[in-house]
Structure 1
Amino acid sequence: MNDKPETPSGVLLIDKAQDFTSHDVVAVARGALGIRKIGHCGTLDPMATGLLILVIGKATKLSDLLMSEEKEYEGTMVLGKTTNSQDAQGEVEEEKDVPDFSAEQIDDAFNEYVGDFEQIPPMVSAIKIKGVPLYKMARKGKVVERKPRAVKVYDYQIKRTELPEVDFVVQCSKGFYVRTYVHDIGQDLGCGAHLSALRRTRSGKFDLSRAVTTEQLKHGKREDLLASMLTLEEVLEIRGV
Protein backbone atom coordinates (compact mmCIF):
# COMPACT_ATOMS: atom_id res chain seq x y z
CA MET A 1 0.00 0.00 0.00
CA ASN A 2 1.40 3.40 -1.00
CA ASP A 3 0.57 6.14 1.49
CA LYS A 4 2.86 8.68 -0.14
CA PRO A 5 0.93 11.97 -0.55
CA GLU A 6 0.19 13.02 -4.11
CA THR A 7 2.34 15.84 -5.49
CA PRO A 8 0.32 19.08 -5.68
CA SER A 9 -0.55 20.05 -9.24
CA GLY A 10 -1.52 23.39 -10.69
CA VAL A 11 -0.27 26.71 -12.02
CA LEU A 12 1.65 29.29 -10.02
CA LEU A 13 1.77 32.77 -11.54
CA ILE A 14 4.99 34.64 -10.82
CA ASP A 15 5.75 38.35 -11.16
CA LYS A 16 9.39 37.84 -12.13
CA ALA A 17 11.94 40.34 -10.89
CA GLN A 18 14.72 41.73 -13.08
CA ASP A 19 18.03 39.85 -13.35
CA PHE A 20 16.43 36.42 -12.78
CA THR A 21 16.37 33.94 -15.63
CA SER A 22 13.26 31.83 -16.10
CA HIS A 23 15.34 28.81 -15.05
CA ASP A 24 16.38 30.66 -11.87
CA VAL A 25 12.71 31.08 -10.94
CA VAL A 26 12.01 27.38 -11.54
CA ALA A 27 14.97 26.46 -9.31
CA VAL A 28 13.72 28.75 -6.54
CA ALA A 29 10.20 27.28 -6.85
CA ARG A 30 11.52 23.72 -6.60
CA GLY A 31 13.34 24.61 -3.39
CA ALA A 32 10.44 26.57 -1.91
CA LEU A 33 7.79 23.94 -2.68
CA GLY A 34 9.90 20.80 -2.34
CA ILE A 35 8.61 19.66 -5.75
CA ARG A 36 10.89 18.65 -8.63
CA LYS A 37 8.28 18.48 -11.40
CA ILE A 38 8.04 22.18 -12.25
CA GLY A 39 8.39 23.89 -15.62
CA HIS A 40 7.76 27.35 -17.05
CA CYS A 41 5.71 28.56 -20.00
CA GLY A 42 7.44 31.15 -22.16
CA THR A 43 10.96 32.32 -21.36
CA LEU A 44 11.47 35.86 -20.06
CA ASP A 45 14.88 37.49 -20.57
CA PRO A 46 16.76 38.39 -17.37
CA MET A 47 16.18 42.10 -18.12
CA ALA A 48 12.42 41.58 -18.38
CA THR A 49 9.96 41.55 -15.50
CA GLY A 50 6.39 40.36 -15.19
CA LEU A 51 4.27 37.32 -15.75
CA LEU A 52 5.96 33.93 -15.77
CA ILE A 53 3.66 30.89 -15.66
CA LEU A 54 4.96 27.94 -13.64
CA VAL A 55 3.35 24.56 -14.24
CA ILE A 56 3.57 22.12 -11.36
CA GLY A 57 3.01 18.37 -11.17
CA LYS A 58 0.35 17.16 -13.61
CA ALA A 59 -0.02 20.71 -14.95
CA THR A 60 3.28 20.27 -16.83
CA LYS A 61 1.18 18.48 -19.46
CA LEU A 62 -0.44 21.87 -20.18
CA SER A 63 2.87 23.58 -21.04
CA ASP A 64 2.48 23.54 -24.82
CA LEU A 65 -1.12 24.68 -24.60
CA LEU A 66 -0.36 27.60 -22.29
CA MET A 67 2.74 28.66 -24.25
CA SER A 68 0.77 28.84 -27.50
CA GLU A 69 -1.46 31.70 -26.35
CA GLU A 70 -1.06 35.39 -27.14
CA LYS A 71 0.95 37.68 -24.88
CA GLU A 72 0.85 41.32 -23.82
CA TYR A 73 3.95 43.37 -23.02
CA GLU A 74 4.74 46.89 -21.87
CA GLY A 75 8.06 48.16 -23.19
CA THR A 76 10.31 51.18 -23.62
CA MET A 77 12.12 51.83 -26.88
CA VAL A 78 15.19 54.08 -26.96
CA LEU A 79 15.88 55.59 -30.36
CA GLY A 80 19.34 56.45 -31.65
CA LYS A 81 21.27 53.45 -30.35
CA THR A 82 21.49 49.86 -31.59
CA THR A 83 23.03 47.05 -29.54
CA ASN A 84 24.23 43.54 -30.39
CA SER A 85 21.47 42.02 -28.24
CA GLN A 86 18.80 44.53 -29.35
CA ASP A 87 18.29 45.50 -25.69
CA ALA A 88 20.00 47.57 -23.00
CA GLN A 89 22.14 44.66 -21.81
CA GLY A 90 24.08 44.40 -25.06
CA GLU A 91 27.07 46.31 -26.39
CA VAL A 92 26.34 49.46 -28.36
CA GLU A 93 26.98 48.89 -32.06
CA GLU A 94 25.92 52.20 -33.56
CA GLU A 95 24.73 55.63 -32.43
CA LYS A 96 22.85 58.14 -34.56
CA ASP A 97 21.10 61.46 -33.98
CA VAL A 98 17.37 61.17 -33.40
CA PRO A 99 15.27 63.41 -35.65
CA ASP A 100 12.46 65.40 -34.06
CA PHE A 101 9.82 62.80 -34.95
CA SER A 102 6.18 63.72 -34.50
CA ALA A 103 3.83 61.43 -32.58
CA GLU A 104 2.19 60.62 -35.93
CA GLN A 105 5.52 59.51 -37.46
CA ILE A 106 6.20 57.22 -34.52
CA ASP A 107 2.71 55.78 -34.73
CA ASP A 108 3.07 55.22 -38.48
CA ALA A 109 6.28 53.25 -37.89
CA PHE A 110 4.58 51.01 -35.31
CA ASN A 111 1.56 50.62 -37.57
CA GLU A 112 3.74 48.92 -40.21
CA TYR A 113 4.02 45.94 -37.83
CA VAL A 114 0.38 44.97 -37.31
CA GLY A 115 -1.00 41.62 -38.42
CA ASP A 116 1.08 38.75 -39.76
CA PHE A 117 4.75 39.21 -40.67
CA GLU A 118 8.13 37.55 -40.18
CA GLN A 119 10.92 38.23 -37.70
CA ILE A 120 14.54 37.11 -37.83
CA PRO A 121 15.34 36.01 -34.25
CA PRO A 122 18.23 37.86 -32.56
CA MET A 123 21.58 36.15 -32.12
CA VAL A 124 21.23 36.60 -28.37
CA SER A 125 18.35 34.16 -27.94
CA ALA A 126 17.69 30.65 -26.65
CA ILE A 127 16.86 29.23 -30.08
CA LYS A 128 19.08 26.24 -30.82
CA ILE A 129 20.91 25.50 -34.06
CA LYS A 130 22.36 21.98 -34.19
CA GLY A 131 21.72 21.71 -30.46
CA VAL A 132 23.64 24.88 -29.53
CA PRO A 133 21.75 27.95 -28.22
CA LEU A 134 22.33 31.06 -30.31
CA TYR A 135 23.36 33.11 -27.28
CA LYS A 136 26.32 30.78 -26.69
CA MET A 137 27.47 31.36 -30.26
CA ALA A 138 26.95 35.11 -29.83
CA ARG A 139 29.22 35.12 -26.76
CA LYS A 140 32.01 33.78 -28.99
CA GLY A 141 31.41 36.51 -31.52
CA LYS A 142 29.74 34.21 -34.03
CA VAL A 143 26.86 35.30 -36.24
CA VAL A 144 24.93 32.57 -38.06
CA GLU A 145 22.01 32.64 -40.45
CA ARG A 146 18.63 32.44 -38.72
CA LYS A 147 15.42 31.47 -40.44
CA PRO A 148 12.59 34.03 -40.34
CA ARG A 149 9.71 33.10 -38.04
CA ALA A 150 6.04 33.85 -38.63
CA VAL A 151 4.65 36.11 -35.88
CA LYS A 152 1.63 38.36 -35.39
CA VAL A 153 0.85 41.65 -33.68
CA TYR A 154 -2.83 41.85 -32.74
CA ASP A 155 -2.72 45.41 -31.45
CA TYR A 156 -0.42 48.06 -29.98
CA GLN A 157 -0.68 51.33 -28.13
CA ILE A 158 1.86 54.11 -27.69
CA LYS A 159 1.67 55.33 -24.11
CA ARG A 160 4.38 58.03 -23.99
CA THR A 161 6.68 59.72 -26.47
CA GLU A 162 9.54 61.74 -24.96
CA LEU A 163 12.33 61.35 -27.48
CA PRO A 164 14.52 59.41 -27.55
CA GLU A 165 12.16 57.22 -25.44
CA VAL A 166 8.85 55.71 -26.52
CA ASP A 167 6.68 53.66 -24.13
CA PHE A 168 4.33 51.17 -25.77
CA VAL A 169 2.05 48.19 -25.17
CA VAL A 170 1.91 45.33 -27.67
CA GLN A 171 -0.35 42.28 -27.93
CA CYS A 172 1.40 39.57 -29.90
CA SER A 173 1.64 35.89 -30.76
CA LYS A 174 3.89 33.30 -29.16
CA GLY A 175 7.51 33.29 -30.32
CA PHE A 176 7.48 37.08 -30.71
CA TYR A 177 10.67 38.98 -29.91
CA VAL A 178 9.86 42.44 -28.58
CA ARG A 179 13.59 43.29 -28.85
CA THR A 180 13.51 42.55 -32.57
CA TYR A 181 10.23 44.45 -32.98
CA VAL A 182 11.86 47.55 -31.48
CA HIS A 183 15.07 47.05 -33.48
CA ASP A 184 13.16 46.74 -36.76
CA ILE A 185 11.04 49.84 -36.06
CA GLY A 186 14.25 51.75 -35.28
CA GLN A 187 15.75 50.65 -38.59
CA ASP A 188 12.64 51.81 -40.43
CA LEU A 189 12.90 55.21 -38.72
CA GLY A 190 16.50 55.45 -39.87
CA CYS A 191 18.12 56.12 -36.50
CA GLY A 192 18.13 52.67 -34.92
CA ALA A 193 16.67 51.68 -31.55
CA HIS A 194 16.96 49.19 -28.71
CA LEU A 195 14.67 47.92 -25.96
CA SER A 196 15.48 49.39 -22.53
CA ALA A 197 12.64 47.93 -20.43
CA LEU A 198 10.14 45.10 -20.81
CA ARG A 199 7.32 43.77 -18.68
CA ARG A 200 4.95 40.91 -19.57
CA THR A 201 1.51 41.78 -18.24
CA ARG A 202 -0.60 38.99 -19.72
CA SER A 203 -0.34 35.52 -21.26
CA GLY A 204 -3.58 34.11 -22.64
CA LYS A 205 -6.24 34.60 -19.96
CA PHE A 206 -3.68 34.96 -17.14
CA ASP A 207 -2.46 38.30 -15.81
CA LEU A 208 -0.56 39.65 -12.80
CA SER A 209 -3.59 40.02 -10.51
CA ARG A 210 -2.90 36.69 -8.75
CA ALA A 211 0.86 36.60 -9.24
CA VAL A 212 3.39 35.94 -6.48
CA THR A 213 6.52 38.10 -6.51
CA THR A 214 9.97 36.57 -6.80
CA GLU A 215 10.70 37.71 -3.24
CA GLN A 216 7.55 36.01 -1.95
CA LEU A 217 8.61 32.86 -3.78
CA LYS A 218 12.07 33.00 -2.21
CA HIS A 219 11.00 33.78 1.34
CA GLY A 220 7.32 32.80 1.64
CA LYS A 221 5.95 29.81 3.49
CA ARG A 222 5.29 26.66 1.50
CA GLU A 223 1.64 26.49 2.56
CA ASP A 224 1.06 30.10 1.47
CA LEU A 225 2.63 29.46 -1.92
CA LEU A 226 0.54 26.32 -2.42
CA ALA A 227 -2.56 28.32 -1.47
CA SER A 228 -1.67 30.85 -4.20
CA MET A 229 -1.50 28.11 -6.81
CA LEU A 230 -4.33 27.77 -9.33
CA THR A 231 -5.75 24.25 -9.38
CA LEU A 232 -6.13 22.37 -12.66
CA GLU A 233 -9.90 22.99 -12.42
CA GLU A 234 -9.37 26.74 -11.99
CA VAL A 235 -6.96 26.84 -14.93
CA LEU A 236 -9.48 25.18 -17.22
CA GLU A 237 -12.26 27.45 -15.95
CA ILE A 238 -10.19 30.62 -16.53
CA ARG A 239 -9.39 29.45 -20.04
CA GLY A 240 -13.07 28.77 -20.68
CA VAL A 241 -12.56 25.07 -21.35
Structure 2
Amino acid sequence: MTAHSARPRIAILTSHGQPSAPPPPEIHLAAVAAAVQDHLPDWEVRSATLSSKGFLEAAMREDGAVIYPFFMARGWFTGKVLPGRLKGWRYRMATPFGLDPALPALTVAAIRSALHARGWKVAESEVLLAAHGSARGPKAAEAAEAFASTLRAQMPELRLTTGFVEETPFVAEAARNCGAQSLCLPFFAQTGAHVREDIPAALAEARFEGDLLPVLGALPGVAKLMADAIERAAETELSSPPAA
Protein backbone atom coordinates (compact mmCIF):
# COMPACT_ATOMS: atom_id res chain seq x y z
CA MET A 1 0.00 0.00 0.00
CA THR A 2 1.36 3.45 -0.85
CA ALA A 3 2.04 5.83 2.01
CA HIS A 4 -0.37 8.51 0.77
CA SER A 5 -3.40 6.24 0.39
CA ALA A 6 -5.33 4.30 3.00
CA ARG A 7 -6.96 2.09 0.36
CA PRO A 8 -6.08 0.87 -3.13
CA ARG A 9 -6.32 3.34 -5.95
CA ILE A 10 -8.85 2.47 -8.64
CA ALA A 11 -8.23 1.95 -12.34
CA ILE A 12 -10.99 1.04 -14.79
CA LEU A 13 -10.23 -0.50 -18.18
CA THR A 14 -12.90 0.22 -20.75
CA SER A 15 -13.40 -0.78 -24.37
CA HIS A 16 -16.22 -0.68 -26.89
CA GLY A 17 -17.32 -4.28 -26.48
CA GLN A 18 -19.88 -5.89 -28.78
CA PRO A 19 -23.49 -4.65 -28.56
CA SER A 20 -24.89 -7.78 -30.22
CA ALA A 21 -23.13 -10.10 -27.77
CA PRO A 22 -21.72 -8.22 -24.74
CA PRO A 23 -20.55 -11.10 -22.47
CA PRO A 24 -17.51 -12.44 -24.42
CA PRO A 25 -15.74 -9.06 -24.75
CA GLU A 26 -16.59 -8.32 -21.11
CA ILE A 27 -14.94 -11.57 -20.02
CA HIS A 28 -11.90 -10.89 -22.17
CA LEU A 29 -11.50 -7.36 -20.81
CA ALA A 30 -11.73 -8.70 -17.27
CA ALA A 31 -8.85 -11.08 -18.07
CA VAL A 32 -6.81 -8.14 -19.37
CA ALA A 33 -7.59 -6.24 -16.16
CA ALA A 34 -6.38 -9.20 -14.11
CA ALA A 35 -3.08 -9.21 -16.04
CA VAL A 36 -2.67 -5.46 -15.46
CA GLN A 37 -3.49 -5.97 -11.78
CA ASP A 38 -0.39 -8.16 -11.47
CA HIS A 39 1.73 -5.07 -12.22
CA LEU A 40 -0.23 -2.75 -9.88
CA PRO A 41 -0.36 -4.45 -6.46
CA ASP A 42 -1.43 -1.24 -4.71
CA TRP A 43 -4.36 -0.72 -7.05
CA GLU A 44 -7.75 -2.25 -7.71
CA VAL A 45 -8.10 -2.75 -11.46
CA ARG A 46 -11.67 -3.04 -12.70
CA SER A 47 -13.11 -3.36 -16.20
CA ALA A 48 -16.29 -2.51 -18.10
CA THR A 49 -17.16 -2.34 -21.78
CA LEU A 50 -19.36 0.44 -23.10
CA SER A 51 -21.67 -2.15 -24.66
CA SER A 52 -22.73 -3.64 -21.33
CA LYS A 53 -25.48 -1.40 -19.99
CA GLY A 54 -24.64 0.10 -16.61
CA PHE A 55 -21.31 -1.73 -16.17
CA LEU A 56 -19.11 1.36 -16.44
CA GLU A 57 -21.29 3.34 -14.06
CA ALA A 58 -21.25 0.47 -11.58
CA ALA A 59 -17.47 0.20 -11.81
CA MET A 60 -16.98 3.89 -10.99
CA ARG A 61 -18.63 3.88 -7.53
CA GLU A 62 -16.43 6.75 -6.34
CA ASP A 63 -14.52 9.77 -7.64
CA GLY A 64 -10.81 9.68 -8.47
CA ALA A 65 -10.49 6.57 -10.65
CA VAL A 66 -8.05 6.38 -13.54
CA ILE A 67 -9.95 5.49 -16.72
CA TYR A 68 -7.89 3.46 -19.19
CA PRO A 69 -9.35 3.56 -22.74
CA PHE A 70 -8.47 0.24 -24.39
CA PHE A 71 -8.97 1.94 -27.75
CA MET A 72 -6.62 2.63 -30.65
CA ALA A 73 -7.35 6.35 -31.08
CA ARG A 74 -8.92 9.45 -29.58
CA GLY A 75 -12.02 9.16 -31.69
CA TRP A 76 -15.78 9.19 -31.24
CA PHE A 77 -15.92 6.75 -28.35
CA THR A 78 -13.04 8.20 -26.32
CA GLY A 79 -13.84 11.82 -27.18
CA LYS A 80 -17.64 11.82 -26.99
CA VAL A 81 -19.23 8.61 -25.74
CA LEU A 82 -16.91 7.88 -22.81
CA PRO A 83 -16.94 11.43 -21.32
CA GLY A 84 -20.71 11.43 -21.68
CA ARG A 85 -21.02 8.19 -19.76
CA LEU A 86 -18.72 9.58 -17.03
CA LYS A 87 -20.57 12.86 -16.62
CA GLY A 88 -20.95 13.71 -12.95
CA TRP A 89 -17.80 11.88 -11.86
CA ARG A 90 -14.28 13.19 -11.30
CA TYR A 91 -11.60 10.99 -12.83
CA ARG A 92 -8.25 10.90 -14.60
CA MET A 93 -8.00 9.73 -18.21
CA ALA A 94 -5.02 7.66 -19.34
CA THR A 95 -3.63 7.76 -22.86
CA PRO A 96 -5.58 5.43 -25.18
CA PHE A 97 -3.79 2.14 -25.82
CA GLY A 98 -3.09 2.77 -29.51
CA LEU A 99 -1.42 6.12 -28.78
CA ASP A 100 0.93 4.87 -26.07
CA PRO A 101 4.48 5.96 -27.00
CA ALA A 102 5.85 2.59 -25.88
CA LEU A 103 3.61 0.55 -28.20
CA PRO A 104 5.64 0.95 -31.43
CA ALA A 105 8.80 -0.52 -29.87
CA LEU A 106 6.79 -3.45 -28.52
CA THR A 107 5.34 -3.95 -32.00
CA VAL A 108 8.71 -3.79 -33.75
CA ALA A 109 10.01 -6.51 -31.41
CA ALA A 110 6.97 -8.67 -32.22
CA ILE A 111 7.40 -8.17 -35.98
CA ARG A 112 11.07 -9.07 -35.83
CA SER A 113 10.26 -12.15 -33.77
CA ALA A 114 7.55 -13.25 -36.24
CA LEU A 115 9.87 -12.78 -39.21
CA HIS A 116 12.71 -14.62 -37.48
CA ALA A 117 10.41 -17.55 -36.61
CA ARG A 118 9.57 -17.90 -40.31
CA GLY A 119 13.14 -17.49 -41.48
CA TRP A 120 12.24 -14.36 -43.42
CA LYS A 121 14.66 -11.47 -43.91
CA VAL A 122 13.26 -8.06 -42.98
CA ALA A 123 14.23 -6.43 -46.28
CA GLU A 124 12.45 -9.18 -48.25
CA SER A 125 9.24 -9.06 -46.20
CA GLU A 126 6.18 -6.88 -45.85
CA VAL A 127 3.68 -5.92 -43.16
CA LEU A 128 0.09 -4.91 -43.83
CA LEU A 129 -1.26 -2.89 -40.92
CA ALA A 130 -5.00 -3.63 -40.96
CA ALA A 131 -6.88 -0.92 -39.06
CA HIS A 132 -10.48 0.00 -38.37
CA GLY A 133 -10.83 3.43 -39.95
CA SER A 134 -14.11 5.26 -39.46
CA ALA A 135 -16.89 6.97 -41.36
CA ARG A 136 -17.47 9.24 -38.32
CA GLY A 137 -14.21 11.15 -38.61
CA PRO A 138 -10.49 11.05 -39.40
CA LYS A 139 -9.06 10.25 -35.96
CA ALA A 140 -9.00 6.45 -36.34
CA ALA A 141 -7.19 6.54 -39.68
CA GLU A 142 -4.84 9.27 -38.49
CA ALA A 143 -3.82 7.18 -35.48
CA ALA A 144 -3.12 4.15 -37.69
CA GLU A 145 -1.13 6.18 -40.23
CA ALA A 146 0.91 7.86 -37.48
CA PHE A 147 1.63 4.46 -35.97
CA ALA A 148 2.66 3.11 -39.38
CA SER A 149 5.01 6.09 -39.87
CA THR A 150 6.66 5.37 -36.52
CA LEU A 151 7.13 1.72 -37.44
CA ARG A 152 8.67 2.70 -40.80
CA ALA A 153 11.13 4.97 -39.03
CA GLN A 154 12.15 2.14 -36.69
CA MET A 155 12.28 -0.52 -39.45
CA PRO A 156 13.23 1.42 -42.61
CA GLU A 157 14.19 -1.76 -44.46
CA LEU A 158 10.66 -3.20 -44.11
CA ARG A 159 7.88 -2.46 -46.59
CA LEU A 160 4.80 -1.48 -44.58
CA THR A 161 1.36 -0.58 -45.93
CA THR A 162 -1.99 0.23 -44.35
CA GLY A 163 -5.53 -0.89 -45.11
CA PHE A 164 -8.85 -0.22 -43.39
CA VAL A 165 -12.04 -2.07 -42.63
CA GLU A 166 -14.35 0.94 -42.90
CA GLU A 167 -12.66 3.33 -45.34
CA THR A 168 -10.28 3.42 -48.29
CA PRO A 169 -7.81 1.98 -48.95
CA PHE A 170 -9.69 -1.11 -47.82
CA VAL A 171 -7.83 -4.13 -46.45
CA ALA A 172 -8.57 -6.26 -49.54
CA GLU A 173 -7.26 -3.52 -51.82
CA ALA A 174 -4.06 -3.09 -49.82
CA ALA A 175 -3.52 -6.87 -49.53
CA ARG A 176 -3.62 -7.53 -53.29
CA ASN A 177 -0.10 -6.23 -53.77
CA CYS A 178 1.44 -8.18 -50.89
CA GLY A 179 3.84 -11.02 -51.63
CA ALA A 180 4.16 -14.43 -50.03
CA GLN A 181 6.49 -13.14 -47.27
CA SER A 182 3.86 -10.86 -45.77
CA LEU A 183 2.35 -10.45 -42.32
CA CYS A 184 -1.02 -8.85 -41.65
CA LEU A 185 -0.94 -7.07 -38.32
CA PRO A 186 -4.36 -5.99 -36.96
CA PHE A 187 -4.21 -2.49 -35.44
CA PHE A 188 -6.80 -3.43 -32.84
CA ALA A 189 -6.84 -3.75 -29.06
CA GLN A 190 -9.10 -6.81 -28.93
CA THR A 191 -10.19 -9.64 -31.21
CA GLY A 192 -13.72 -8.60 -32.11
CA ALA A 193 -15.83 -9.31 -35.17
CA HIS A 194 -13.68 -7.16 -37.44
CA VAL A 195 -10.59 -9.22 -36.61
CA ARG A 196 -12.32 -12.59 -36.53
CA GLU A 197 -14.45 -12.12 -39.64
CA ASP A 198 -13.94 -8.97 -41.72
CA ILE A 199 -10.15 -8.97 -41.97
CA PRO A 200 -9.83 -12.71 -42.82
CA ALA A 201 -12.60 -12.29 -45.41
CA ALA A 202 -10.78 -9.34 -46.97
CA LEU A 203 -7.51 -11.27 -47.05
CA ALA A 204 -9.23 -14.23 -48.68
CA GLU A 205 -10.80 -11.93 -51.27
CA ALA A 206 -7.34 -10.56 -52.07
CA ARG A 207 -5.81 -14.07 -52.11
CA PHE A 208 -3.33 -12.94 -49.49
CA GLU A 209 -0.54 -15.50 -49.21
CA GLY A 210 0.98 -14.34 -45.95
CA ASP A 211 0.10 -14.87 -42.30
CA LEU A 212 -2.35 -13.08 -40.03
CA LEU A 213 -0.83 -12.08 -36.68
CA PRO A 214 -2.64 -11.53 -33.35
CA VAL A 215 -3.97 -8.07 -32.47
CA LEU A 216 -1.66 -5.53 -30.84
CA GLY A 217 -3.56 -5.92 -27.59
CA ALA A 218 -2.29 -9.50 -27.36
CA LEU A 219 1.40 -8.64 -27.66
CA PRO A 220 3.76 -9.75 -24.88
CA GLY A 221 4.39 -6.85 -22.55
CA VAL A 222 1.04 -5.13 -23.10
CA ALA A 223 -0.15 -5.57 -19.50
CA LYS A 224 2.99 -3.82 -18.19
CA LEU A 225 2.59 -1.07 -20.80
CA MET A 226 -0.98 -0.48 -19.62
CA ALA A 227 0.03 -0.49 -15.97
CA ASP A 228 2.72 2.11 -16.66
CA ALA A 229 0.18 4.30 -18.48
CA ILE A 230 -2.20 4.08 -15.53
CA GLU A 231 0.52 5.13 -13.10
CA ARG A 232 1.43 8.09 -15.32
CA ALA A 233 -2.20 9.14 -15.50
CA ALA A 234 -2.45 9.00 -11.70
CA GLU A 235 -0.10 11.99 -11.56
CA THR A 236 -2.34 14.18 -13.75
CA GLU A 237 -5.12 16.53 -12.68
CA LEU A 238 -8.61 15.26 -11.98
CA SER A 239 -11.31 16.14 -14.47
CA SER A 240 -13.31 19.26 -13.67
CA PRO A 241 -15.91 18.86 -10.91
CA PRO A 242 -19.49 18.40 -12.13
CA ALA A 243 -21.58 21.53 -12.49
CA ALA A 244 -23.86 22.25 -9.53
Name the TM-score, length of structure 1 as normaliser.
0.31
Between the two structures, name the one with larger relative contact order (CA 8 Å, sep ≥ 6).
Answer: 1
More strand per residue: 1 or 2? 1
